Amino acid sequence: MTKPNDPYSFAAWCRESLVDFTKLNAEKQVFIGFVLAIVVAACVKLIETTTGLPSVYEHLIYVPLFFAGLLLGPRIGALGGFVCGVALSPLSFADAAFADSEISTGWLLRLLLLTLMPLIAGLIANSVKDLVALEKKAKHTYQGTELPNMAAFVEQLKSIGNEEDADTKDLVDIFNFKLQNMERIQHQIGTERTEKLMRQLAEQLRNIIGKSAHIGQTSNNELVGVSTDTQHSHKELEQKLKKLLERPIVIDGVPYQLDSATGVLRTNRGQVKEKAEQVVEQAQHHAFEAREQNKNFSFLEQDDAIESISDVSFSRQLTEAIESNDIRLYYQPRLNANTGYFSVLEAIVKWTDPKRGDMTTDEFRPLIEEAALTEQFTSWMVKKAFEDIREWQKNSFVVRVSLHITLNDIVEPNVLNAVARELQESKFPPRDFSLEVSEKSLMRISDKAKRYLEKLRGIGVNIIADHFGEGASTIQSLFVLPVDAVKLSEDLVKKATSNSDKKRALSSMVKMARSRGLKTIATGVDDRSKLLLLKQIGCEELQGAILSKAQPKDEIPWARIR
């Protein structure tokens, strides 16, 4: 313990002394409270029998008892106050044994105050402690299941790395379980049973990995774990975990089969101690890659992890850029050629990087694709766009928003599900929201993603085939897909302004789309010739620098939007 004669550590000494006191048994605490009361009473009596105290200071007796109640609790504080009151009573001295007048004129009231003051202080302190404990629990547990959340899991990793008796070269296994069908199960059985299922799965995983393992939850379909028991080879771990995850989880007598992609990262305590957050990011990235490669289990040694350091580093850069607001959503208005007003705001991402400078989505997309962060980043775009939408709704702005969600030309079902969830929570009219998906992604869309798109379209969301004209598809091929509009590629429009054959082909394409009920949108309108051409051939919505550049949300020209 720090010595009290060190002036810079006095607060620490007090705190540690209080902690040591709370570890004493009840009898010792009561005895110390009793001694404290006697000391206070003796000091007061000594002053009264000598010169006495001025009336303005006579109530200072309550101060030590108040703090005794705060620090020692209501029971010991009240006991101390009561003993102090008895010790200061007229009956405690023989010459005042029959001083009825003193008893009747204030001593009983004084005894009551001396008892109630530390009692109330102790109750207040207990209430504050309970509130602090609840707040700490809320910050460190996942809502619903009350399993440790990401913050608690990182703290646990740090504590493992800082254990004094352990060698920094000792190995640690970090587990990441991505439950791919959890959303479907939740729709079937509801949130309460899903939370019960996750708690039960966490307990079973703890039994398999080892009783010393710590299991947490970072999202509604992701569990994480850490274990210092690394005696098993990766083959043994794989067999154990596969055997567990192949068995259905039984909730209220009904079995549910889980579809999991499991990643295990084996590293050492030194890595965990120095950079716990980066290790967690690396483990999550590893599990994400396992899922992308349709692997049920993937094991990564620390030496193998060197290959993915750059990916993890970029993931951290991306997260920090989002948190520091270096990555922001801008909105570019889209002109309705018939009304002459802007009718839609398209969300566009811009990244201001200290090293790379200002980057558009097209410029940093390859970095995201290489680090396998497209789904994570697109989900952030969806969340951020709906945050802005909620703000506009509060200000009663009438707005229609369009968002491109296929950075890597793949329609992710999880992203579509995130859109559906945000639409439900925000109450934003689906007819005023558009999803832009690339032409290439539509040509190779999965059955699940296509089904999700059809459901979104069924509730009113507009689906736009973006970058149309870059691939080998035709308007006819889009008629069998769930789309409401085509967005012509910039290259297609550019060629039509300088080539009469391309102009006729573009005009025919626009007419055919309109005849089949598809709206036509043109982007990249950066000069007058393109603007006049697109109006002439009947393109319905136009977007480009000559009309309006992308604006921060605070600078949107609302007066020109209808």
- pLDDT, residue 390, reads 92
* Partners of 327 in beta bridges: 351
d(CA 290, CA 261): 6
Average pLDDT over residues 237-261: 84
- pLDDT, residue 137, reads 56
Question: Hey, what are 340's tokens?
Answer: 């002459």
**pTM, to two decimals:** 0.49
| Comparison of pLDDT for 5 and 295, the residue scoring more | 295
* Partners of 557 in beta bridges: none
- pLDDT, residue 420, reads 92
To the nearest whole number, what is the mean pLDDT of the chain?
A: 78
- pLDDT, residue 8, reads 41
**CATH 3.20.20.450 region(s) of the chain?**
329-348+374-560
CATH of range 150-307; options 3.20.20.60, 3.40.50.170, 3.20.20.100, 3.30.70.270: 3.30.70.270
- Residue 431 DSSP label: G
- pLDDT, residue 490, reads 85
d(CA 189, CA 181): 13
Weakest mean pLDDT among 28-32, 391-395, 429-433: 28-32
* CB atoms near residue 263 (< 10 Å): 25
CB–CB of 404/434 below 8 Å?
Answer: no
pLDDT band at 3 (very low <50, low <70, confident <90, very high): very low
CB–CB of 162/270 below 8 Å?
Answer: no
- pLDDT, residue 457, reads 92
d(CA 14, CA 406): 58
Weakest mean pLDDT among 19-23, 94-98, 437-441, 523-527: 94-98
Closest to 510 in 3D by CA, of 471, 546, 550, 540: 540
In angstroms, how far is CA 75 from the centroid of its own chain?
Answer: 41
Could you tell me what percentage of the chain is helix, strand and coil, using 3-state DSSP and rounding each to the nearest 5?
A: 60, 20, 25
Q: According to the per-residue pLDDT averaged within each range, which of 133-142, 239-248, 525-534 is highest? A: 525-534
Q: What is the CATH number of domain 329-348+374-560?
A: 3.20.20.450
Distances (CA, A) of 136 to 15, 49, 124: 19, 50, 18
DSSP strand E in 125-248: where? 171-179, 214-219, 222-227
**pLDDT at 177 > cutoff 80:** yes
* Partners of 143 in beta bridges: none
**CATH 3.30.70.270 region(s) of the chain?**
150-307
Q: pLDDT tens-digit profile of 435-486?
A: 999 888 888 888 888 889 999 999 999 999 988 876 656 666 666 778 899 9
Question: What's the burial of 3, exposed, middle or buried (CB within 10 Å: 0-12/13-18/19+)?
Answer: exposed
Q: pLDDT tens-digit profile of 20-75?
A: 555 555 555 566 666 666 666 666 666 555 555 444 445 566 677 677 777 667 77
- pLDDT, residue 399, reads 87
Closest to 311 in 3D by CA, of 290, 281, 291: 281
pLDDT band at 93 (very low <50, low <70, confident <90, very high): very low
